[in-house]
Amino acid sequence: MSYKEKNPLPPNAPSWCQAPFDPERVLSFMIVVVTCLIWLQFGRVIVHLKDHREKIVHWTGPSLGLLKLGFVLDFFGIKRVQMS
Number of domains in the chain: 1
83 C-beta neighbours (distance < 10 Å), count: 3
Q: What predicted TM-score, i.e. pTM, was given to this entire model?
A: 0.46
The domain in which residue 48 lies consists of 25-74
Alpha-carbon gap, residue 52 to 50, rounded angstroms: 6
> pLDDT (tens digit, 9 = 90+) per residue, 38-82?
889 888 888 888 888 888 888 888 889 989 988 998 888 876 655
Residue at 33 is within a domain: yes
Residue at 18 is within a domain: no
Of 34, 24, 2, nearest in space to 83 by CA? 24
Residue at 30 is within a domain: yes
Residue at 70 is within a domain: yes
Residue at 54 is within a domain: yes
Alpha-carbon gap, residue 74 to 37, rounded angstroms: 23
